[in-house]
C-alpha cells in the first residue's frame, strides 16, 4: 500500500529489537521501511526509527560499536525526524540507572529509572509492566495535533520494567499509569518522538498512532519536490 | 489493572491442534488463519505453542511466525522446543515478541538468567505445566504433562522469578481442554509466591469462567484460552480445512464439541467482561480495516 505520502523509514538494526514487526507495521500503513545500520541508508531516509528491547547498557554498547550514536545525534540535529520505541525511546535520554549508570544519547533531558514494585499503600506491583494501558494526551496544542486519534479509550501495549523520568514537562506528550504509578508514555521534542509502548503491537489503534506520528513530521524537502 | 485476553494456538506440524490434558490432539485448521480471526475479534495477545516441538528450527515454523506478524499486530509469544539463546534470537527475528521456555529451564534454570539478561526479562516467559498430585500439592511437568520433573510448582515459580523470568504461563494440565474452569487454588498458590505477571491457562469453557477468575483473584493479569474460541471459529466457518494430510481430523469431519465447552468469540467475551466491569482494552472499532 504505497501512496504519495509514503515515507522512507530507516529502522535501525543494532541487534536489539523486534525489527520485523515494526517493518510490517510501517508497510501496513503505507510507508517504505527498511532495516539498516548503514550510514548512507540512514542519511538518505526521511525518518529514523529506533526500536529496542533488552538492556539499556547492551543497547548503547551495540550502537556505539556500530558508530550509530554520533550519526543519529548528527542527523537529528540537522532536523531529521526520529521515532524511538520502547527501549529506543529510553535511549534518547541522558542516562539510565539500569544495572549501574549508563549514558544515553542525550537528545532529551531525563533519566531512566526502575518502575516501583509497590503502590503507595504497599500493594504488590507485578514487574515487568506487561499489558495494555490507556494513554492520555497532555493537552498542549502541538501534541493534540500529532496524536489526533488519542481519546480516553486509546489502549497501547507496554512491555517494560523501567520508565523515562523526563526533566522538562513540555517534552511529555502523553502519560499512562500502571497500578496507579504515572509515567511518560510518549515524549516529544522538536523533531523527536518517543513511545514507551509498542504501537506496532497495539492493534489498529497502535497503527493509527504510529501513522499520525509519522505524518506529523514536516519533512524539509517535500517528497514531490524531491521527485522533480 | 487492565486484563489481557490471550488466544493460545497449539501447533503440530502445519496445523492448529487441540486436545484434552494437552493430549489426543485434533486438527482444527491453520494457525495463521485462526490468529487473524482472533486478532480481528479483539485478542490482546497470542501464543503459538509448538506442542510437540515438531517444528522447532524448521523453516516452516519461522514462516508461520513471520507470515502471522505481517498482518497480526498484537504481541506474540512463541514456545515449544526453545533450548538455546540462538533459538530465541531466531524466533524474535521472525517477529515474535516473547518466548516461552519450559524444558530448557527445568534442565538448566541458569538458562532463564542468560536469556533474561540477553533479551530482557519482559521477553522471557517461563511455561509451567502443573499437575495436582495431592491436597494443595502441584508438581511441574514438561512435554505436554508427560515428563515428571519432581519440582514443586511453588518452589519452581520462585526459582524462575529469581532467575529473571518476566512472566509465568501457568497451565493446569488437569483442567486443560476440559472446559471445567481454571484451577483457582493453583493460581492462588503461584500468585502468592511471585511478583511477576501471570498468564493463567487451562480450563476455560465459557465466558463466565473468565469473569469469575478475574473476580476471585485480582492478581491474575491475563487469561489464555483455546478450545472455546477455536471451536466457535470452526463452528461458524464451514469452509475451514486442515493443512496437508497430517494429523487426526476427526473433529473437522464431525464437529462434535466437548459438552462442557460453550464456544464464544473474543468480541463477545470482551463485551461481556466490559458489561461486568472488568477492565479489558476497549473492543476495537476499526479491526476490519487492518485485519485480513
Q: In angstroms, rounded to a whole number, what is the distance separating the alpha carbons of residues A54 and A149?
A: 29
ipTM: 0.92
The residues pairing with B50 across neighbouring beta strands, listed in sequence order, are B11
Residues A70-77 have a mean pLDDT of: 98
Q: Write the secondary structure of B198-212 as one string of H (helix), E (strand) and C (coil).
A: EEEECCCCCHHHHHH
Instruction: Decide: A155 and A191 in contact? Cβ < 8 Å.
Output: no
> Do the chains contact at A24 and B69, CB–CB below 8 Å?
yes
**Domain-embedded: residue A218:** yes
| Per-residue confidence (pLDDT) for residue B19, from 0 to 100 | 86
| Per-residue confidence (pLDDT) for residue A228, from 0 to 100 | 40
CATH superfamily, with its number, for domain B4-290: Aldolase class I (3.20.20.70)
Q: DSSP secondary structure string, chain A?
A: ---TT--EEEEE-SS-S-HHHHHHHHHHTT-EEEEE--HHHHHH-SEEEE---S-HHHHHHHHHHTTHHHHHHHHHHTT--EEEETHHHHTTEEEE-TTS-EE---SEEEEEEEPPSB-TTS-B--SSEEEEEE-EE---HHHHHHTTT--TT-EEEEEESEEEEES-GGGEEEEEEETTEEEEEEEEETTEEEESS-GGGSHHHHHHHHHHHHHT---SS-HHHHH-
| Per-residue confidence (pLDDT) for residue A32, from 0 to 100 | 96
C-alpha cell of residue B147: 515428563
Which of A22-26, A168-172, B191-195, B287-291 has the weakest average pLDDT? B287-291
Domain boundaries, given as residue ranges, for chain B: 4-290
The catalytic residue positions of B are 10, 129
The residues pairing with A159 across neighbouring beta strands, listed in sequence order, are A130
**Domain-embedded: residue A3:** no
C-alpha cell of residue B186: 493453583
> Do the chains contact at B94 and A131, CB–CB below 8 Å?
no
A16-38 pLDDT, tens digit each:
878 999 999 999 999 999 999 99
C-alpha cell of residue B145: 504433562
**Domain-embedded: residue A172:** yes
B264-289 pLDDT, tens digit each:
999 999 999 999 999 999 755 534 34
Higher local confidence (pLDDT), B204 or A152: B204
B53-75 pLDDT, tens digit each:
755 556 678 899 999 999 999 99
Percent of chain A with pLDDT over 70: 86
Residue of A26, A129, A160, A200 marked catalytic: A200
| Per-residue confidence (pLDDT) for residue B1, from 0 to 100 | 85
**Coil, helix or strand for B46?**
strand
The CATH number of the domain holding residue A84 is 3.40.50.880
B287 reaches A (C-beta below 8 A):
yes
**Domain-embedded: residue A2:** no
Q: In angstroms, rounded to a whole number, what is the distance separating the alpha carbons of residues B208 and B202?
A: 14
B222 reaches A (C-beta below 8 A):
yes
**Domain-embedded: residue A209:** yes
A57 reaches B (C-beta below 8 A):
no
Query: Can you give the residue range of the structural domain that contains A140?
Result: 8-227
**Number of structural domains found in chain A:** 1
C-alpha cell of residue B200: 493463567
Which of A184-198, B223-237, B272-286 has the weakest average pLDDT? B272-286
Instruction: Decide: B172 and B139 in contact? Cβ < 8 Å.
Output: no
| Per-residue confidence (pLDDT) for residue B25, from 0 to 100 | 86
Reported confidence tier of residue B246, pLDDT bands at 50, 70, 90: low
Percent of chain B with pLDDT over 70: 90
Amino acid at each position: 500500500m504505497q501512496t504519495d505520502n509514503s515515507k522512507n523509514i530507516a529502522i535501525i538494526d543494532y541487534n536489539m529489537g523486534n525489527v520485523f514487526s515494526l517493518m510490517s507495521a510501517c508497510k501496513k500503513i503505507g510507508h517504505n521501511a527498511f532495516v539498516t545500520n548503514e550510514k548512507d541508508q540512514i542519511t538518505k531516509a526521511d525518518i529514523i526509527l529506533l526500536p529496542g528491547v533488552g538492556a539499556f547498557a547492551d543497547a548503547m554498547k551495540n550502537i556505539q560499536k556500530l558508530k550509530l550514536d554520533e550519526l543519529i545525534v548528527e542527523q537529528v540535529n540537522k532536523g531529521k525526524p526520529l521515532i524511538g520505541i520502547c527501549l529506543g525511546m529510553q535511549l534518547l535520554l541522558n542516562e539510565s540507572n539500569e544495572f549501574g549508570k549508563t549514558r544515553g544519547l542525550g537528545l532529551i533531558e531525563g533519566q531512566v529509572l526502575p518502575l516501583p514494585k509497590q503502590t503507595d499503600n504497599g500493594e504488590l506491583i507485578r514487574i515487568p509492566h506487561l499489558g495494555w494501558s490507556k494513554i492520555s494526551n497532555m493537552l498542549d496544542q502541538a501534541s493534540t495535533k500529532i496524536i489526533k486519534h488519542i481519546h480516553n479509550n486509546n489502549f497501547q501495549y507496554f512491555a517494560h520494567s523501567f520508565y523515562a523520568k523526563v526533566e522538562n514537562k513540555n517534552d511529555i506528550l502523553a502519560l499512562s499509569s500502571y497500578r496507579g504509578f504515572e509515567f511518560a508514555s510518549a515524549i516529544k521534542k522538536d523533531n523527536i518522538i518517543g513511545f514507551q509502548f509498542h504501537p506496532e503491537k497495539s492493534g489498529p489503534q497502535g497503527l493509527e498512532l504510529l501513522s499520525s506520528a509519522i505524518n506529523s513530521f514536516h519533512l524539509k524537502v517535500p517528497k514531490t519536490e524531491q521527485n522533480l | 489493572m487492565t486484563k489481557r485476553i490471550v488466544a493460545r494456538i497449539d501447533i503440530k506440524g502445519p496445523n492448529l491442534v487441540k486436545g484434552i490434558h494437552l493430549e489426543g490432539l485434533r486438527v482444527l485448521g491453520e494457525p495463521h488463519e485462526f490468529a487473524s480471526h482472533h486478532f480481528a475479534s479483539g485478542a490482546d495477545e497470542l501464543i503459538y505453542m509448538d506442542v510437540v516441538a515438531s517444528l522447532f528450527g524448521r523453516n516452516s515454523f519461522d514462516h508461520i511466525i513471520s507470515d502471522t506478524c505481517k498482518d497480526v499486530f498484537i504481541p506474540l509469544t512463541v514456545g515449544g522446543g526453545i533450548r538455546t539463546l540462538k533459538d530465541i534470537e531466531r524466533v524474535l527475528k521472525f517477529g515474535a515478541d516473547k518466548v516461552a521456555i519450559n524444558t530448557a529451564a527445568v534442565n538448566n534454570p541458569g538458562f532463564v538468567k542468560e536469556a533474561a539478561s540477553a533479551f530482557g526479562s519482559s521477553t522471557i516467559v517461563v511455561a509451567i505445566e502443573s499437575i495436582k498430585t495431592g491436597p494443595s500439592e502441584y508438581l511441574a511437568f514438561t512435554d505436554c504433562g508427560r515428563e515428571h520433573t519432581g519440582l514443586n510448582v511453588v518452589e519452581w515459580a520462585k526459582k524462575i522469578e529469581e532467575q529473571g523470568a518476566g512472566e509465568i504461563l501457568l497451565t493446569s494440565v488437569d483442567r486443560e481442554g476440559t472446559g471445567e474452569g481454571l484451577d483457582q487454588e493453583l493460581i492462588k498458590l503461584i500468585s502468592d509466591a511471585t511478583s511477576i505477571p501471570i498468564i493463567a491457562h487451562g480450563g476455560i469453557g465459557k465466558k463466565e469462567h473468565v469473569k469469575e477468575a478475574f473476580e476471585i483473584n485480582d492478581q491474575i493479569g491475563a487469561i489464555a484460552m483455546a478450545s472455546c474460541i477455536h471451536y466457535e471459529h470452526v463452528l461458524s466457518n464451514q469452509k475451514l480445512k486442515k493443512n496437508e494430510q497430517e494429523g487426526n481430523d476427526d473433529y473437522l469431519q464431525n464437529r462434535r464439541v466437548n459438552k462442557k465447552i460453550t464456544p464464544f468469540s473474543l468480541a463477545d467475551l470482551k463485551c461481556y467482561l466490559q458489561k461486568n466491569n472488568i477492565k479489558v482494552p476497549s473492543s476495537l472499532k476499526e479491526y476490519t480495516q487492518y485485519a485480513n
